[in-house]
Chains A and B, each alone.
Chain A
Amino acid sequence: MEECLVEYFRTQMRTDPDMASAVAAIRTLLEFLRRDKGETILGLRESLKWATDCLTEVDSSVAVSSGGELFLRFISLTSLEHQDLSRCKKVMEERGELFLEKISLSRTKVAKLCHTFIKDGAKILTHSSSRVVLRVLEKAAAEKKRFTVYVTESQPDTAGKQMADALRRLNVPVTVVLDAAVGYVLEKVDLVIVGAEGVVESGGIINKIGTYQMAVCSKAHNKPFYVVAESFKFVRLYPLNQQDVPDRFKYKADTLRTVSDLSDEHPMIDYTPPSLITLLFTDLGVLTPSAVSDELIKLYL
């Protein structure tokens, strides 16, 4: 059962590399719901939770777990008072498909909101490789804006180089800089845009390691620090500092499985507190960090 699930998930990721891992996870969960042969709604919920946990073990990003939880909430947020279980399941499946539809449009919505903040002649700094940021920059380029981009190399997986290649294909002048050169390059840039793997309750974000540094430097230089994220990345965590982020998000899934002593391992993500973020662009609108909690309460309660 578990292998089937994981295999489906991996196929989804492979067929569409542009898709967010959370979206692939939600597709998998929907398929799981379709194939599930449970007898009760409570049992259904339990098995969906178990499926989400399985997927988190495969891909330990925050978005997968938050996406899964939001999916579960969304489909159960309707009246399930039908007598027949199959009818209930049908209702839930329809809601699930509606949810998928909404989130597939979310990147376009975000891009539409954000590209107006990129003025002609702007110099943008971004971190590592984010598909949402790429979509935003595509939209801005399509609007015939001229801008240059600096991308950090983002060790240890040098994901920044992929971002640079993608941008070169769009004919956008791009420079890859070292992670250590962020402070050096910040005086040249006008704004900083990063993606997020998760948006937490305080309004802060969890993103690839190196984001926190960039945020602190841009605050010191008084440059605006923008975050673009879809709404399914909102997660019910409230870290107080870097140590407070749970271990299951910090390291890659295979590292968590194989290595017993994590103190030698280097975490893949860090936490940026809300005081360093200027604005968040989401499909729910343009939010200040303090408004994120408001939206979260609406989403989760």
Chain B
Amino acid sequence: MADCGEPDGPGNKDDITRSKNEGKELTKEEKQRLRKQKKHQKKQKERKNEKGPSETEKDKTPVSLLPPPQPVATQKAPSALPAPASAPIPVPASAPFHSSPAPSPADKPAKSKAELKAERRARQETDRAAKQPGSSSSGIKTKVPLSELNPVVKRLPEHVQVDDPAVVKRLAKKLERQQIPLRSDYGYKVSLFSHLHQYSRKAPLTQLLSIPSTVIHPSIVRLGLQYSQGIVAGSNARSVALLHAFKQVIRDYTTPPNEELSRDLVNKLKPYISFLNQCRPLSASMGNAIKYIKKEISNIPSQCKEEEAKTKLLTCIDRYIEEKIVLAAKAISKYAIEKISDGDVILVYGYSSLVNNILCEAFEKSRKFRVIVVDSRPRLEGREALRRLVQRGISCTYVLISALSYILPEVSKVFLGAHALLANGYVMSRVGTSQIALVARTYNVPVLVCCETYKFCERVQTDSFVSNELDDPDDLMVTRKGKTQLENWQDVSSLGLLNLVYDVTPPDFVDLVITDLGMIPCTSVPVVLRVKNLDQ
């Protein structure tokens, strides 16, 4: 545990805090110094506390080390993505390192001990690699797969553990390191959803940023503001806006000396992603797009010149948008039009860019049908859909979702958009979708979901509570005849306003999913994911 040997003089600390306040990005050396200081302090504290437990660890004679974890750990350590473990992790590793037990004959074949040892080894390796120059870590908490024996322990993402104070503290620390302000929750949260964030639109994150902020690129700041105010909304729109912003970031990027583009750019993107996550939780499509970009960046060979690498990345992003969004929409329209016959009455819910596209294309191909647009408060997105369809000349009817069972006997098909398709076949979409699917099923009306393959995600969810998004509760207030009934809802202690954004629909209610790969039943989503993984 080599320290630079610098005493924690007040001078150093002042320097660092001053530069933070000025919004200047900490240089690498200062960041490393900060990290070491914190580590040192923690170690001293922990050594005092863990004198007891570390001795009992010494007593447990560990099983001889298994060779596989070693090379695995060394292989994983140099790769930037997943970035090497951050400050808190080496601390528990340091304690047993000092006890340094000799490999003794395996008296107990208890696998757990071997695993523990392997874990510790792995952590030490990553730790050592983290100290080397050329791998600057921005301290993201990583899920380092510890050994091949251990199944990868999947930790819950932080944005669904808001009621756990330890997790919130960790998130706050991480954001502090990345110099991104933490957005505070607003208002009383309904207890079932207390594990989710709830932000107010009147307090955008950008107000807490210092000006000028050189940590976050201005186009990302603009994007974050657009997300949090609802100016850019809808799964496809958000992904495309994100990709365009990243293109701008790449254009303005210059590789600092002694750094490799493939590693440094990825690390530069991480605070941006945290910032956008704070403005509005990332959608599944955005997550997949980010994964793709990160993969492309890290695949850039190190001999590549900077200009060349940048143009390559820009073309990659353009191709992604073209293939996965634009062309996919055309392919889906082609399949969907086969399912629209003359005389159909089609029901749509809210505003889905893809479903609108399909209906407009079908109308161009002179199919005779009429549309019923179902809408719901507080977003009233259906009005936008209605406006666009009527402009084309399609005859439409507009109802609110409470009139659904009244209107369904007239309907011959239901077309729904999706925010994401989960690995167990559940469809995650705007809140109200599962209600429509349920009622349509009871009336034996076929339900068709249209979704591009880039929205398929590996997550599994069986209910809408575990992972969702809570929108601004003030949106539910409505002013009629000059009176706003819920104006003082915060004063009423037993009143909570809930503004959910998404819900999940089980696959039994969905008859058909139309993707750019073809028409598949809802249960075949894992097959598509498998095929996609083989392609990549």
Contact = CB atoms under 8 A, between A and B. Distances in A.
B520 A293 contact: yes
A50 interface: no
Interface string A23-54: 00000000000000000000000000000000
B339 A244 contact: yes
Contacts of B511: 202, 240
Interface in B172-219: none
A241 B512 CA distance: 11
B524 A240 contact: no
Contacts of B238: none
Contact of B413 (A202, A203, A240, A301): A240
A293 B341 CA distance: 24
A301 B516 CA distance: 13
Interface residues of B, number: 16
A243 B527 CA distance: 28
Given A293-B527, A297-B527, A297-B531, A240 B512 contact: yes
B446 interface: yes
Contacts of B527: 293-294, 297
A128 to B, nearest CB: 26
Interface string A61-101: 00000000000000000000000000000000000000000
A52 B517 CA distance: 25
Contacts of B520: 201, 293, 297
Given A238-B512, A240-B339, A240-B512, A293 B446 contact: no
A202 B512 contact: yes
A30 B531 CA distance: 32
B521 A201 contact: yes
B512 A290 contact: no
Interface in A279-293: 290, 293
Interface residues of A, number: 15
Contact of B523 (A241, A243, A290): A290
Query: Secondary structure of the B side of the interface?
Result: mixed
Interface in A191-206: 201-203
A290 B525 CA distance: 11
A160 interface: no
A238 B524 contact: no
A1 B116 CA distance: 76
Nearest to B514: A238
A297 B448 CA distance: 20
Contacts of A274: 521
A166 B523 CA distance: 39
B486 interface: no
Contacts, number: 36
Interface in B495-522: 508, 511-512, 519-521
Given A240-B413, A240-B512, A202 B446 contact: no
A202 B521 contact: yes
Contacts of A240: 339, 413, 446, 448, 511-512
Nearest to A241: B446
Contacts of B444: 241
A99 B519 CA distance: 27
Among A203, A238, A301, the most chain B Cβ lie within 10 Å of the Cβ of A238
Interface string B446-475: 101000000000000000000000000000
Nearest to A292: B521
Contacts of B339: 240, 244
A238 B518 CA distance: 10
Nearest to B335: A238
Contacts of A203: 521
Contact of B521 (A243, A244, A293): A293
A19 to B, nearest CB: 31
Nearest to A238: B519
Nearest to A244: B339
Q: Which of B339, B448, B523, B531 gathers most chain A CB within 10 Å?
A: B523
Contact of A201 (B446, B448, B519): B519
List the 10 closest A-B pairs by CB distance, nearest first: A290-B523, A240-B446, A293-B524, A238-B519, A294-B527, A202-B521, A293-B521, A293-B520, A240-B511, A297-B527
Given A202-B521, A240-B339, A290-B523, 5 more contacts: A241-B446, A244-B339, A293-B523, A294-B527, A301-B531
27 contacts: A201-B519, A201-B520, A202-B511, A202-B512, A203-B521, A238-B512, A238-B519, A240-B339, A240-B413, A240-B446, A240-B511, A240-B512, A241-B444, A241-B446, A244-B339, A274-B521, A275-B508, A293-B520, A293-B524, A293-B527, A294-B524, A294-B527, A297-B520, A297-B524, A297-B527, A297-B531, A301-B531
